[in-house]
Structure 1
Amino acid sequence: MTVADPSWAHPEPATSGIRLDLVPGEVLHALARGETDAITSPYLAGPVCASLWRRRSEQILATPADHLWVTRLIVDPDVVMPVGVAGFHGAPDETGMVEVGYRVDPVWRRRGYARGALEILIFEAQQHPDVKTVRATISPDNVPSISLVTAYGFVVNGEQWDDEDGLEIIYERDAA
């Protein structure tokens, strides 16, 4: 498995059959334009995810190599539509840091999809020689997400203000 693979499988297929599939560029741009007939769920094509798609569309137009790293569809082979999205915010920065992000459709939450997606992202980061640090930034009131990342060795490394999400706590762990 490499970052260039169109689909990232769970590192332990017997544990989880989910995968993270690359969103084709034309689909990503269509979602950014608000076209909802793309290959996704009403949640992922709706207003909650609209700014994500616009941001990623602009990003891959400006930096095409980021397309392989950013937002992918969380696919469960037993479910007709993607159950969420997960990926990195971009390729590793100059220090070797990548930031993870994930969202699960509310209909599919509390079923292990975020956990499985995070496991795939950590595994993928570990396989890439340029990645040294994995980061997650989380709202202080998002207890489920905080519990998830801390269970995987992420520790607090500061806080930041995000214009879209407000105060975020920065969690980091070594990629290894």
Structure 2
Amino acid sequence: MSIFLNDIITPRLIIRLLGEEVTNACLDNNLETAQQLLHATIPAEFLNELNSLQNDCRQLREDPAYRPWASRAILLKNEMKTIGLVRFHSSPELHADKPYRKGAVELGYHIFSDYRRKGYARETILGLIDWAAVHFSVHRFIVSISPENLPSLELARSFGFIKTDEVVDEIDGLEYVYLLDRQLNT
């Protein structure tokens, strides 16, 4: 697979696709091997994100075309240090259960505590949105956010995401669903 699918480069970050080997090493709690394969340090906090990696494995078994949308490490370019995780919850949804999901991808991100409020989430989201638009012609993006997560709500609104729905996630509870349609905003 070409490099443009594996690494998304922004001014300060490399957003690197984990791939099967790194994912499996993390799921086996083998950070040393995962770090060697990723070519970056990975903090123990990364192991709190195993649910995302397990979801990736399930989705890849069901649909191998999901690969470029799977979990990515957010790396500080100058230090090659993992500062978070980001992923799309699915490939673009063509047969969606709700009209606002048609042709959209939902993204989720987690910036580790020491790196929050420094603009890394904004840079990551912008990098992913631009990458999806350029390489896959995706222009509709969804984020689901807990009503208590005020920084993420503020960030979504600053990008122009508009509240579209409310759902109850079986793990996270009540979430507000926001949609950004870049074709409407151009």
Q: Which has the higher contact order (CA 8 A, sep 6+)?
A: 1
Name the structure 2 match of 1:20.
15
Q: 3-state DSSP class of the match of 1:137?
A: strand
The correspondence of residues 137-152 of structure 1 with structure 2, limited to 5 A, is 137-152=144-159
User: Runs of 4+ in structure 1 displaced over 4 angstroms?
Assistant: none
**What does the per-residue CA deviation read over 1:95-150, in whole Å, with 9 as the maximum and x for residues that have no partner?**
21100111011111111111110111111232245524100000000000011111
Q: Tell whether the 8 Å contact from 1:32 to 1:57 is kept in structure 2 after alignment.
A: no
Distance 1:3 1:91 in 2: 19
Q: Tell whether the 8 Å contact from 1:8 to 1:20 is kept in structure 2 after alignment.
A: yes
Which of 166-175 and 54-63 deviates more?
Answer: 54-63
Q: 1:50 to 1:123 in 2, by over 3 A?
A: same
**What does the per-residue CA deviation read over 1:62-117, in whole Å, with 9 as the maximum and x for residues that have no partner?**
22221211211111112242111113112101121100111011111111111110
Distance 2:123 2:136 in 1: 22
Q: Tell whether the 8 Å contact from 1:87 to 1:121 is kept in structure 2 after alignment.
A: no
Report the TM-score, using the length of structure 1 for normalisation.
Answer: 0.87
Report the TM-score, using the length of structure 2 for normalisation.
Answer: 0.82
Q: Determine whether 1:162 maps to 2:164.
A: no
Distance 1:146 1:6 in 2: 28
1:7, distance to aligned residue in structure 2 (A): 0.4
AA partner of residue 18 (structure 2): V
The correspondence of residues 1-176 of structure 1 with structure 2, limited to 5 A, is 5-10=5-10, 16-37=11-32, 38-39=34-35, 40-45=42-47, 48-94=48-94, 95-176=102-183
Name the structure 2 match of 1:13.
none
Q: Tell whether the 8 Å contact from 1:125 to 1:131 is kept in structure 2 after alignment.
A: yes
Q: Which runs of 5+ in 2 are unaligned?
A: 36-41, 95-101
The percent identity for this pair of structures is 29
Give the count of matched residue pairs. 168
Q: Which runs of 5+ in 1 are unaligned?
A: 11-15
Distance 2:166 2:73 in 1: 28
Question: What's the RMSD between the two structures over aligned residues?
Answer: 1.9
Q: 3-state DSSP class of the match of 1:53?
A: helix
More helix as a share of residues? 2
